[in-house]
């Protein structure tokens, strides 16, 4: 007697074609990536030429420059890290670098650089317009001169963001000499009126970079031009802090323009996150009402300098930034303490 639940025979009918047992190969994410040619990410052994990379060509990759002589080199893109070895008599622009820029065994170099870390070793006679988030380091290097980053091209602000760099965190003048020599100074600051174009020229109009719209005017620079470690013109400084909002960067730029038009000088800037205990320590008696604002994001602080700057900044805050959450030093009697409290905190926060 048959069983109603017996299974169908698994034997295949002889007149049917055998099934194809071969499966299609699996596709992995790395199989779908565009093939990378290492030569696209290096410049080697080039002489007497204008070379580099246009926006969108690196997209955060590492880059190498080596054994170049008498070249104008322009990297109009963001990258992960850049090493420059054995180059002589070159003019170099490097767009924002997420990690380190390392010059080794180079001499007679003039450059504009934005990076997280900057270091030189065994270099001679370099002039650097720098934006560096950490303390720049020189090692076994002589004749090093530093100035503040001054540059603009349309994609540059986006490249700073892609590289994770803040335009307000620039320690260009806070140099650490890893190998100091007694009685000698291996580095100095460029004259305050130094112009980028006198050091790093515009690309050749016949080159592939002619389409990049560049400006080296300090007023158009993505990174604010600061006085840095140079001697202050006045004993009066003012701390002006913007709390996080939709227009923090634009507001900071507006303040710089307003203050500069009145003859005041921007000394330094910082963008940092704060905790409630930081607010209490930095702002002390003025901390009340500020705690809720730090949860919205980092603050942007500026030190402005000049006789009468505190009163002027308080007027600007009332007239231009009414409705925007800010902190401004109350009087010139307390403003120096305000500046020291904030920027000492910021330097500690950033490990400087």
Cβ-based neighbour number of residue 150 at 10 Å: 23
Which two tokens mark 136? 């720049």
The answer to whether the annotation marks 10 as part of a ligand binding site is no
Q: How far apart are CA 226 and CA 149, in angstroms?
A: 9
The answer to whether the annotation marks 27 as part of a ligand binding site is no
Selection from 229, 301, 314, 308 nearest residue 262 by Cα: 308
Q: Give DSSP secondary structure letters for 267-331.
A: EEEEEE---HHHHHHHHGGG-TTTHHHHTTS-EEEEEEESTTHHHHHHHHHHHHSTTS-EEE-S-
Q: How far apart are CA 341 and CA 284, in angstroms?
A: 9
Q: What is the DSSP letter of 8?
A: P
The answer to whether the annotation marks 61 as part of a ligand binding site is no
Q: How far apart are CA 146 and CA 148, in angstroms?
A: 7
Annotate 68-89 with three-state secondary structure.
CECCEEEECCCECCEEEECCEE
The answer to whether the annotation marks 116 as part of a ligand binding site is yes
Which residue numbers belong to the known binding site? 99-100, 116-119
Known binding-site positions for GTP: 99-100, 116-119
């Amino acid at each position: 007697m048959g069983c109603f639940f017996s299974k169908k025979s698994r034997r295949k009918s002889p007149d049917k074609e055998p099934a194809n047992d071969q499966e299609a190969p699996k596709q992995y994410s790395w199989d779908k990536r565009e093939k990378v040619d290492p030569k696209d990410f290096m410049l080697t052994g080039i002489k007497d030429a204008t070379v580099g990379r246009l926006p969108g060509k690196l997209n955060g990759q590492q880059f190498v420059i080596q054994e170049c002589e008498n070249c104008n080199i322009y990297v109009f893109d963001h990258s992960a890290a850049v090493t420059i070895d054995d180059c002589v008599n070159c003019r170099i622009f490097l767009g924002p670098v997420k990690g380190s820029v390392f010059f080794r065994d180079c001499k007679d170099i003039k450059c504009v650089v934005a990076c997280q870390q900057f270091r030189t070793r065994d270099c001679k006679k370099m002039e650097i317009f720098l934006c560096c988030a950490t303390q720049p380091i020189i090692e076994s290097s002589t004749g090093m001169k530093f100035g503040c980053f001054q540059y603009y091209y349309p994609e540059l602000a986006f490249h700073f963001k892609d590289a994770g760099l803040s335009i307000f965190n620039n320690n260009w003048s806070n140099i650490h000499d890893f190998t100091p020599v007694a009685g000698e100074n291996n580095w100095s600051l460029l004259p305050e009126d130094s112009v980028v174009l006198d050091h790093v020229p515009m690309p050749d109009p016949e080159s592939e970079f002619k389409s990049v719209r560049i400006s080296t005017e300090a007023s158009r620079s993505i990174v604010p031009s600061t006085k840095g470690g140079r001697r202050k013109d006045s004993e009066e400084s003012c701390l002006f802090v913007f709390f996080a909002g939709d227009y923090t960067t634009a507001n900071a730029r507006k303040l710089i323009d307003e203050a500069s038009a009145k003859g005041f000088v921007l000394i330094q800037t910082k963008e940092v996150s704060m905790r409630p205990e930081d607010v209490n320590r930095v702002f002390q008696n003025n901390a009340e009402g500020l705690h809720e604002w730090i949860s919205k994001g980092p603050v942007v602080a500026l030190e402005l300098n000049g006789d009468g700057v505190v009163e002027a900044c308080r007027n600007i805050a009332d007239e231009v930034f009414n409705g925007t959450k800010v902190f401004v030093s109350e009087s010139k009697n307390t403003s120096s303490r305000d500046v020291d409290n904030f920027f000492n905190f910021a330097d500690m926060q950033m490990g400087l």
